[in-house]
Structure 1
Amino acid sequence: MNGHSNPAIDGLAKCDFHRHRLPCSVARCNNIVYARQLCVRHGGKPKCAHDDCDANARPGGFCYRHTEVRSKRLCSQPLCTNAAHAKGLCVRHGGGRRCRVDGCKTLARKGGCCVRHREGVACADAFEMTLDWIDAIEPLDDAILDCLIKTCAADTSSSSPTTIDVEWYAL
């Protein structure tokens, strides 16, 4: 194939890199096929859609000379030069999305959540797991407190100055 000096494989006219690539179907052309059994030079790539232009097209149908320069849409508020996001508005004028966590007024960054809640659902699940953990150890806390109350009640007969006020527990 054209373009480099890699040695040809025995029995083939191609190097190891080009061994599975077909040559262009145009007579005496040794370029590799791009599409439709043609190399780029012979029409394997589509041509620019602009009138009287034979350059190869880029994505979008036009060559680099005729591609439309897409400028960013600007915020629709008067005198604002920021880029528009949603509803034709910039973030400052209400074009951004709010974080999906209840009560959070911060703008969403990733996955519908703000930076603070960026873990999204995983963060909410972790919070629920924390509450589950607290609920799970509550009986243990009650058992420890009951044990302390019984111990203090048994110690009241001694002259020990150590006492525990358990009035708050009744609340």
Structure 2
Amino acid sequence: PATSSKSAPPVVAMVASPCSILRCNHFAKIQGHCLAHYRSILVQHPNSPTFDTTRPNISSSYDDAITSPSRTSNDAKKLKLKNRNRKCRTDSCVSYARSGGYCTRHGGGRKCKVDGCGTASQTGGFCRLHGGGSRCRIAHCDQFARIRGLCLHHNRVTPDDNKSTTSSHDDQNHV
């Protein structure tokens, strides 16, 4: 009689490749670019998201835009100005700017309402340290909401368990 031996599932080797933009330390996600650089190329050239693989730092649509007679230099200036204004003013930062021209990591965005606190505000106008941020919607749980209004603990609970948790909530170990 033939015996079936269960073997372990095949191991898939994941190879992480860096973004093809010079001096970018992020991993490539789409067409050899990190998400930020892929997004910036799409913002600049929304009608042609194909890239020239022989020149990894410039998209083929970018070359077409520069050499195309239909695009005036005034249009190109507006495009560059719009894109530049959306990026953080800090050198080598590719995050989008909040208020003041900087991303939240570099000082942009709304600040906590508590005097002397320079942390970015959450829901309610305060940072998490001073009571801002939305809380888990499960009764008696004071953890921060992460996904669909639930904390990480309650998000992992199955839908059947979630219903019983809202009524009894006898698992207080995570709080």
TM-score (normalised: structure 2):
0.38
Higher relative contact order (CA 8 A, sep 6+): 2
Higher-Rg structure is: 1
